[in-house]
Chains A and B, each alone.
Chain A
Amino acid sequence: MSAQGAAHIKAICKAAGNDPARLMDIAIAVQKQLGAVSDTAIDLIATHLKIPRVDVDSLVTFYAFFSKTPKGRVIIRLCNDVVDQMNGAAEVAAALETELGIRFGETSPDGAISLEYAPCIGLSDQAPAALINDVPVTHLDSGKARHLAQLLKREGTQARLVKTFGDGNNAHDLIRSMVVNNIRETGPVILAPYTSGSGLKKALALSPAEVIRDIKTSRLRGRGGAGFPTGMKWDFTRQAGGDQRFIICNADEGEPGTFKDRVLMTECPDLIFEGMTIAGYAVGAAEGIFYLRAEYAYLEKFLTAILTQRRKAGQLGQTICGKAGFHFDIRLQMGAGAYVCGEETALISSCEGRRGDPKNRPPFPAQKGYKGCPTSVNNAETLCCVARILECGPGWFAAMGTKGSAGTKLLSISGDCARPGVYEVPFGVKVSDLLKKVGADHTAAIQVGGPSGRMIGPKEFNRIICYDDLSTGGSFILFNKGRNVVDIARQFMDFFVEESCGYCTPCRVGNVLLRNKLVEILAGHGALEDLAYLEELGRTTKLASRCGLGQTSPNPVLSTLENFRPAYEALFKKSRGHEPVLANFDLQAALSQGSILAGRASSIFTPVNGSQP
Chain B
Amino acid sequence: MAAKPKVATASLAGCFGCHMSILDIDERILDLIELIDFDKSPIDDLKEFTGRCAIGLIEGGCCNEENVRNLIEFRKHCDLLISVGECAICGGIPALRNTLPLQECFDEAYKHGPTVYNPSGQYPNDPDLPLILNKVYPCHEVVKIDYHLQGCPPSADTIWAALTALLTGKPVQLPYELIKYD
Binding site for B on A (CB under 8 A): 578, 580-582, 584-585, 587, 589-595, 597-600, 602-605, 613
Contact = CB atoms under 8 A, between A and B. Distances in A.
Contact of A593 (B129, B134, B141): B134
Given A598-B123, A598-B129, A602-B131, 17 more contacts: A578-B72, A581-B143, A585-B137, A585-B141, A590-B135, A591-B134, A593-B132, A594-B131, A597-B103, A598-B132, A600-B125, A600-B131, A602-B65, A604-B65, A604-B68, A605-B65, A613-B72
A593 B64 CA distance: 12
B142 interface: yes
A599 B106 CA distance: 14
Contacts of A587: 68
Contacts of A584: 141
A581 B72 contact: yes
Nearest to A603: B127
Interface in B65-99: 65-66, 68-69, 72, 75-76
Contacts of B5: none
A81 B103 CA distance: 36
9 contacts: A581-B68, A582-B142, A582-B143, A587-B68, A590-B133, A593-B134, A597-B123, A598-B131, A599-B125
Most buried by A among B65, B75, B106, B144: B65
Contacts, number: 71
B130 A604 contact: yes
A581 B103 CA distance: 26
3 closest A-B pairs by beta carbon, nearest first, are: A594-B131, A594-B132, A593-B102
Given A598-B125, A604-B65, A580 B76 contact: yes
B101 interface: yes
A594 B134 contact: yes
At the interface, is chain B mostly helix, strand, loop or mixed?
mixed
Contact of A580 (B72, B125, B129, B132): B72
A357 to B, nearest CB: 27
B115 to A, nearest CB: 21
A604 B69 CA distance: 8
Nearest to B124: A598
Given A585-B141, A598-B123, A580 B131 contact: no
Given A600-B127, A602-B131, A594 B69 contact: no
Interface string B111-154: 00000000000010101011111110100011110000000000
Counting contact residues on chain B (CB < 8 A from A), the size range is 20 to 34
Contacts of B69: 604-605, 613
A402 to B, nearest CB: 50
A603 B125 CA distance: 13
Given A581-B142, A585-B137, A602-B131, A593 B101 contact: yes
Nearest to B72: A613
A584 B135 CA distance: 15
A119 to B, nearest CB: 27
A589 B142 contact: no
B142 A591 contact: no
Contacts of A599: 125
Nearest to A601: B131
A597 to B, nearest CB: 6
Q: Which of B130, B131, B133 has the most CB of A within 10 A?
A: B131
Interface string B3-33: 0000000000000000000000000000000
Contacts of B66: 604
A590 B76 CA distance: 21
B127 A590 contact: no
Given A604-B65, A613-B69, A597 B102 contact: yes
A593 B144 CA distance: 25
B133 A591 contact: yes
Nearest to B103: A597
A209 B95 CA distance: 64
Nearest to A613: B72
Given A591-B133, A598-B131, A582 B144 contact: yes
Nearest to B125: A598
A591 B72 contact: no
A592 B142 contact: no
A585 B134 CA distance: 12
A585 B142 contact: yes
Contacts of A580: 72, 75-76, 143-144
Contacts of B72: 578, 580-581, 613
Contacts of A600: 125, 127, 131
A591 B137 CA distance: 12
B80 to A, nearest CB: 13
Contacts of A590: 68, 133-135, 137
A594 B144 contact: no
Contacts of B64: 594
A285 to B, nearest CB: 51
Nearest to A599: B125
B69, B125, B134, B144: which has the most chain A beta carbons within 10 Å?
B134
A175 to B, nearest CB: 48
Contacts of A595: 131
